[in-house]
Structure 1
């Protein structure tokens, strides 16, 4: 990991800990090809409850 990435990773994780989060993870924002069918099924089964942004922005969730 380069210095800049490491700096921001540490900064974010430190702040998360300060705010009381038990854990914090960082991942790449890449297209979720394998997860797409499962997420679509999950949404079609109304498992997202009142989280309307999940269905309204399905494409953004798959490819941030």
Structure 2
């Protein structure tokens, strides 16, 4: 499946269905950021709510 990297969204989560292979970008047009905790005080308390489990994909160059 060919995907186009979105150079505005960097990502290193290789097992996400929207990850752009070795380029470390997301292929979505936009992402949703969510919270893991009710009281967010640091980066670890946030998550990419657009994550979908999948394998690394190839991207259009």
Q: Rg bigger for which structure?
A: 1
The TM-score, its normalising length taken from structure 1, stands at 0.21
Quick one: higher RCO (CA 8 Å, sep 6+), 1 or 2? Answer: 2
- Write 1 or 2 for the structure with the bigger share of helix: 1
TM-score by length of 2: 0.21
Q: Comparing both structures, which one devotes a greater share of its residues to strand?
A: 2
